Homo-oligomer: A and B are copies of this chain.
Amino acid sequence: MATAEACPKARVVIQQCLNARLQVQPPSGEKEAEYVEVGRGIVIYLCFLKGATEDLVQKMVRSILAVRLSESEPNGKLVSVLDLPGDVLIVPQATLGGKTKGKAMQYHSNIAKIEGQELYTKFCTVCAETFEINTNTKEANKTVKHGTYGNRQVLSVVTNGPYTHVLDF
């Protein structure tokens, strides 16, 4: 058994999307809410658990952007989001570390909030850097967008098949 399964240091849920829209700043006073939007690509729900490190972030990004979880057109062949090429929307989602205890959820495995925020920022940066240097995503002007850590994630997702996967690291 892989160690990741016994005691993962991070968990992501990945879904295909045709488009998605995420609030990054709630409305405040007279200021309207701010949103980011992506087109066809993947939504990454992201949670860091105890023991996660910056080295793990590098490994996670490499793996997530390379794994073949996107159906290409017209033949439906599975390719990576880099090869699609598609957009990426990163949604911080600390609830992924939850385990049921009776009717409640417990989050004992979750990383401390400040560490989680640092790793989240790093993850977003490394994804964006990868998109910058990858020929496919750069030439097709594909983009990495992300939510605001700690905020409520007001989100709409449209998909032709979510093709949901859970990856532990």
Contacts and interface: CB of A to CB of B under 8 A. Distances in A.
Number of copies: 2
The interface residues of chain A, by DSSP majority, are classed as mixed
Interface string A1-37: 1000110000101000000000000000000000000
Interface in A132-169: 152-167
Interface of A: 1, 5-6, 11, 13, 45, 63, 66-69, 78, 80, 91, 93, 95-96, 98, 100, 103-105, 152-167
22 contacts: A1-B6, A5-B6, A11-B166, A45-B162, A63-B100, A67-B100, A68-B103, A68-B105, A96-B166, A98-B165, A105-B165, A152-B160, A153-B159, A153-B161, A153-B162, A154-B160, A155-B157, A155-B158, A155-B161, A156-B157, A156-B158, A157-B157
